[in-house]
Amino acid sequence: MNSDTARNEPSPHRIDRRRLLLSAAAGLGALAVPAGARWWAVRETARGPRLWDAADAGGRVVPSADPRGHLYAAGYDGSVRALDPGTGAVRWATAVSTADAAENRGGWPLAEGGGVVCVNSATKVQAFDAASGEPRWEVAVPDWRDFSTAQGVAVAGDSVIIVDGASLRSFDAATGRARWSGPPAVSGAPLVAGDTVYVPGRSAGLLAFDVRSGEQRWAQDGVGFVFDPPVVHGGIVHVADTDLASGRSTVFALEAATGRVLWKRAQQHGPIGPAAADGAVCLIKGDQLLALDAVTGDERWTATVPRGMGRGTSSLTAAEGAVYVGTNDDRLFAYDLTTGRLRWQDEPERLRADTAFTWVSLAVAGSAVYRGSRTGLRAFTALPSA
């Protein structure tokens, strides 16, 4: 063999070794990419599509009716805060009441509209300027902490609607001047839809009143005791009652204009909810998330949901193609409203069995879903509408 040729030709052993090493590296790289992608996908799914966290804010959360407005939170510390919906930065904060605020389930009830944000504390309703947080007015109300269901407040145009003791009352949003007072024997949080306010009866039933005049439009006595507020969707009022003796429940669909029963569906035990969107009404019964056709009451799908850990109350809301379930152990689940498929879930770093009592507040606004509880306020990317 020529010596020059021997020097210029690469060694067969070196070629094979180099190729072997390169091939192995390429193979490992090809495996690492999808494995890494799967790991990150699992990690992101376990954490949810988080936007921001605000540990100091929490309790109940209400988005502004104006897309350019604030996000409002009434916390366990007796304060109400206005936050930037996109970043969670606090724009203003003010004390509402500190007496026994931590004992209330989830922070004081609040509502926004007509240029004010109203907070219903234990013994008064306070209105603050929605943009600046400056106090506008306040009205004393009877102490309602012993009520079996939490009191509430609603804003409809330029009217603030509250349940004062056991009577429905309306105030001017700008001045706090009393406008009208309805009949007694109502309880719970009023719901305003259009020009009608719906409120549960003190012991049973659901009633509807004209927002402007306070005139009673109808009363549906077939509905039993109501824990969770009703929802109005597509001209139908959906409400679930509970028999306090047996624990059984019935879900009703009522014609919003007349209160006439369109359909009803018996349940084995009292549910959480309802929530409604996109022609579906959802509720939780035990460890089942159930979706019904809003018009017919026919079952669309069911999905299994965790019961949670520790003490407290789970919650759900539905909007634009999704239903969200917040459990009392700081988890949040997003389900496809059409199929019931779990799209993503969010979990804390460590689930605790001794979770302190918390009431979960959920709200959806634009492209974000917000979860408020004793552990703070968290924002996520909402599921895109179909």
Q: pLDDT for 355-367, tens place per residue?
A: 666 778 999 998 8
If one compares 3 and 351, the residue with the highest pLDDT of the two is 351
Residue 312 scores a pLDDT above 70: no
How confident is residue 253, by pLDDT bands cut at 50, 70 and 90? Answer: very high
Residue 316, CB-side half-sphere exposure with 13 Å CA sphere: 31
How confident is residue 281, by pLDDT bands cut at 50, 70 and 90? Answer: very high
**Residue 281 amino acid letter:** V
Query: At which residue do the structure tokens 């949810």 appear?
Result: 48
Contacts of 14 (CB under 8 A, 6+ apart): none
Peptide bond before residue 274 is cis, with ω within 30 degrees of 0: yes
Cβ atoms of 212 and 195 within 8 Å: the answer is: yes
How confident is residue 58, by pLDDT bands cut at 50, 70 and 90? Answer: confident
Task: Compute the average pLDDT of residues 66-74.
Answer: 88
Residue 311 is predicted with a pLDDT of 62
The H or E element that residue 18 is part of is helix 12-47
Query: CA 349 to CA 87: how far, in whole Å?
Result: 21
Residue 26 scores a pLDDT above 90: no
Residue 318 is predicted with a pLDDT of 95
Residue 381 scores a pLDDT above 80: yes
Residue 185 is predicted with a pLDDT of 75
Mean pLDDT score across all residues of the chain: 81
Residue 274 scores a pLDDT above 60: yes
Q: pLDDT for 27-47, tens place per residue?
A: 434 443 333 333 333 444 566
Residue in 109, 100, 66 with CA at minimum distance from that of residue 85: 66
Residue spans of the domains in the chain: they are 1-47
Residue in 277, 301, 285 with CA at minimum distance from that of residue 242: 285
pTM confidence score = 0.83
The conformation of residue 7, written as its DSSP 8-state character, comes to H
Query: CA 188 to CA 225: how far, in whole Å?
Result: 10
Residue 61 scores a pLDDT above 90: yes
Residue 12 is predicted with a pLDDT of 37
Query: CA 84 to CA 90: how far, in whole Å?
Result: 6
Contacts of 27 (CB under 8 A, 6+ apart): none
Most confident of 20-29, 151-160, 212-221: 212-221
Residue 97 is predicted with a pLDDT of 66
Q: pLDDT for 5-14, tens place per residue?
A: 333 333 333 3
Task: Compute the average pLDDT of residues 168-190.
Answer: 88
Query: CA 242 to CA 170: how far, in whole Å?
Result: 28
Question: Partners of 215 in the beta sheet?
Answer: none
How confident is residue 310, by pLDDT bands cut at 50, 70 and 90? Answer: low
Task: Compute the average pLDDT of residues 219-242.
Answer: 92
Query: CA 288 to CA 355: how far, in whole Å?
Result: 22
Residue 42 is predicted with a pLDDT of 41
- Greatest CA span in the chain, whole angstroms? 114
Q: What percent of the chain has pLDDT over 90?
A: 49
